[in-house]
Amino acid sequence: MVPMSAPGDAVKTPVKVHIVTIFPEFFNGPFDCGPTRIAREKGLLEINLVNPRDFTTDAHRTVDDYPFGGGAGMVMKPEPIFLAVESVRTPASRVILLSPQGERFNQDTAHRFKQLPHLILICGRYKGVDERVRTMLIDEEVSIGDYVLAGGEAAAVVIVEAIARLLPGAVGDEDSVATDSFAQGLLDAPVYTRPREFRGATVPEVLFSGNHAAVATWRRQQALLATARRRPDLLQKATLTPLDREFLQKTLGKEASNGSQNEK
Ligand code: 9D3
């Protein structure tokens, strides 16, 4: 028989992810929902868990130890993490340590990661991981933001979900991925659904005009305004047309179009 392909078959090689974690039960649930589940079901995404504890050799299956030099808290031992990574690593793997010291994860990182055939995400716990993991085992170090988590597991969920929804076929409406907030480098415009009036608050008239160009212009302007007011840092990096700049200058004043704070 000649192998047949059908529409919807995964053709491209899937993104494979191994998550190195001493708390595999953390991941009961989050990958069985939404785009992550769809991507897995379609063979676009493969997620596997590897537990460093399974690579210990002592009776207590020890994965942490006291810090040399003293101080509070425990440090994750290098050997179980090295053995866990080495049990799944291939020449195509990218080994990523999740830690508060890492480079900030953003939408550009999600697009870069979705191109990689194999990600190994190492989740730390306690005070952190032995420095030799950083200097000898990993390719890069990633943080999801400036707040303190108890470990890398929640960060791994965030990163996998951000990648999963970018895989073609994982989200019902491809357009929503192409036009979503960060694809344009701007915040989203407001959205409304029925009822047309809710507790006295009405929907902007332009959305009933049937004028698609007018609706598109309104949405663009709302996105520009929201971004200028709330995330001027994003506006700096966004590609603005001369019309966009003119609109922001007229609406917010001259300085607002190049990213100054301006909350109305
Ligand atoms: C910076 C705080 N560290 C000072 C001793 C201790 C520490 C706190 C929390 C070390 C590790 C952790 C656990 N956090 C992560 O593993 C983590 C994380 C985070 O806390 N914030 C944002 N992104 C990430 S990715 C992994």
Query: What is the percent of the chain with per-residue pLDDT over 70, rounded to a whole number?
Result: 90
Of 115, 149, 164, which residue is a domain's last? 164
Q: In this structure, are 9 and 60 located in the same domain? A: yes
Is residue 178 included in any domain, yes or no? no
pLDDT tens for residues 111-128?
999 999 999 999 998 889
Task: Look up the domain containing 135 and give its range.
Answer: 2-164
Structure tokens at 184: 């344009």
Structure tokens at 58: 């002592």
Question: What is the whole-number distance in angstroms between the Cα of residue 148 and the centre of ligand 1?
Answer: 5
Question: What is the whole-number distance in angstroms between the Cα of residue 121 and the centre of ligand 1?
Answer: 14
Q: In this structure, are 154 and 235 located in the same domain? A: no
Is pLDDT above 60 for 257? no
For residues 146 and 122, the answer to whether their CB atoms sit within 8 Å is no
Q: Is the CB of 127 under 6 A from ligand 1?
A: yes
Q: What is the CA radius of gyration of the chain?
A: 23
CA distance 36 to 43: 11
Q: In this structure, are 134 and 14 located in the same domain? A: yes
Q: Is the CB of 164 under 6 A from ligand 1?
A: no
Per-residue confidence (pLDDT) for residue 262, from 0 to 100 = 38
The model carries a pTM of 0.92
DSSP 150: S
- Going from the C-alpha of 175 to that of each of 85, 170, 179, 183, the distances in angstroms are 37, 12, 6, 11
For residues 16 and 118, the answer to whether their CB atoms sit within 8 Å is yes
CA distance 155 to 161: 10
pLDDT tens for residues 32-48?
999 999 999 999 999 99
pLDDT tens for residues 144-171?
999 999 999 999 999 999 999 999 999 8
Q: In this structure, are 133 and 251 located in the same domain? A: no
Distance, CA of 70 to chain centre: 35
Q: In this structure, are 143 and 243 located in the same domain? A: no
Question: What is the whole-number distance in angstroms between the Cα of residue 98 and the centre of ligand 1?
Answer: 8
Per-residue confidence (pLDDT) for residue 180, from 0 to 100 = 64
User: In total, how many domains does the chain have?
Assistant: 2
Residue 113 sits in a domain whose CATH number is 3.40.1280.10
Residue 218 sits in a domain whose CATH number is 1.10.1270.20
